[in-house]
Amino acid sequence: MAEQQLLPSSEADALVTSSDPKHPANLICTLCRGFYALGWVTGTGGGASIRHDKLIYLAPSGVQKEQLQPHDMFVMDYASRQYLRKPTALKPSQCTPLFLAAFDKGAGCCIHTHSQWAVLVTLLVERDARAVNQSLTERCFEIEEIEQIKAVPKGRGKPGKLGYFDRLRIPIIENTAHEEDLTQSLEEAMEKYPDTHAVLVRRHGIYVWGDDPRSATTLCESLDYLFQLAVRMRELGLPWTPDDTNRQK
Ligand SMILES: CSCCC(=O)C(=O)COP(=O)(O)O
Ligand SMILES: [Zn+2]
């Protein structure tokens, strides 16, 4: 590991000081306040990271994400993975290696939520798999013929969005005791499902990424809508797909 390349504090602070609301240090704070209101980042869990030019902006770990301030942000040089700015007495988000995995796939923003709808969907898929003695790793969340699917990008390098009759598949990986230990299985899911822009984590939440903060947020909102709808559909005995055998008879 190379020497730490921390900048002198005035230069480091300049990286997180801007009156532009779209500056990553400001935008992460604004996004996290919105995510908190949606129940996505309560109790310090979850968060967001932005890649801007050659820099990665990261929130600290274990802090209330709705109270973040721009001067709380860590700044990393993407190419060297060296921190240029490290706020004293704080540690970078445990999600950092997972956010970096998304940036390595070309993302400009990655969001991690602990949305209860995402968690519930993973529990329903887990129960479905157990009912037919199927390995949990073979199961994705799948849904089709719902208008909101049209907000989901087709896939990496493929222009446009899914169609109404396309099946949306979101892979699910197993949870681990420590967030950073999810990295390998997240990367494997990205390889196995190269078109996906999101990976669910069983009994934990979801990682969602996009080219920029706007596309990542739009996708995260759309998926959360679909997860909430899917939970309610299941309560009503309605199928998620035409071949869904878990609907009420
Ligand atoms: C109750 S949070 C447990 C750890 C976790 O899942 C998480 O997302 C924490 O992220 P942080 O940015 O606070 O390290
Ligand atoms: Zn988490």
Q: Which residues, at least 6 apart from 159, have a Cβ–Cβ distance to it below 8 Å?
A: none
Does 95 appear as a known binding residue? yes
In a 10 Å sphere around its CB, with 0-12 CB exposed, 13-18 middle and 19+ buried, how is residue 233 labelled? middle
The token duo for 92 is: 């970078």
Ligand 1 centroid to 65 CA: how many Å? Answer: 10
Is 204 annotated for ligand binding? Answer: yes
- Give, in order, the Cα–Cα distances in Å from 137 to each of 90, 170, 231: 35, 12, 20
Ligand 1 atom nearest 205 alpha carbon: 6
Phi, psi of 83 (to 5 degrees): -75, 130
The pocket around ligand 1, CB under 6 angstroms, is made up of: 43-47, 61-62, 93-95, 112, 179
Specify the residue with its C-alpha closest to ligand 1, atom 3. Answer: 45
Q: What distance in Å separates the CA atoms of residue 16 and residue 199, rounded to the nearest whole number?
A: 29
The pLDDT tens digits of the residues spanning 166-212 come to 999 999 999 999 999 999 999 999 999 999 999 999 999 999 999 99
Q: 213-235 vs 24-37: helix axis angle to the nearest 10?
A: 10
The full set of domain ranges for the chain reads: 1-93, 94-240
Domain at 1-93: CATH code = 3.40.225.10
pTM comes to 0.96
Question: Does the ipTM surpass 0.90?
Answer: yes
Q: At residue 4, does pLDDT exceed 80?
A: no
Tokens 């009420």 -> residue: 248
Question: 54-58: long-range contacts at Cβ-Cβ below 8 A with a sequence spacing of 24 or more?
Answer: 54/78, 54/79, 55/15, 55/24, 55/84, 56/99, 56/100, 56/103, 57/16, 57/24, 57/25, 57/28, 58/92, 58/93, 58/96, 58/99
Residue 179 bears catalytic tag: no
- Ligand 1 center to 132 CA (angstroms): 33
- Of 11, 126, 142, 147, which is the active-site residue? 147
Q: How far is C-alpha 212 from the geometric centre of its chain's CA atoms? A: 13
Residue-wise pLDDT for 48-77, tens only, equals 999 999 999 999 999 999 999 999 999 999
By alpha-carbon position, which residue is closest to atom 1 of ligand 1? 45
Residue range 94-240 forms a domain whose CATH class is: alpha beta
Q: What does the alpha-carbon distance between residue 214 and residue 217 come to, in Å, rounded to a whole number? A: 5
Cβ neighbours of 97 (radius 10 Å): 18
Residue 105 pLDDT class (50, 70, 90 cuts): very high
Confidence of residue 245 (pLDDT cuts 50, 70, 90): confident
- Average predicted confidence (pLDDT) for the chain: 95
Residues with CB under 5 A from ligand 2 (ion): 45
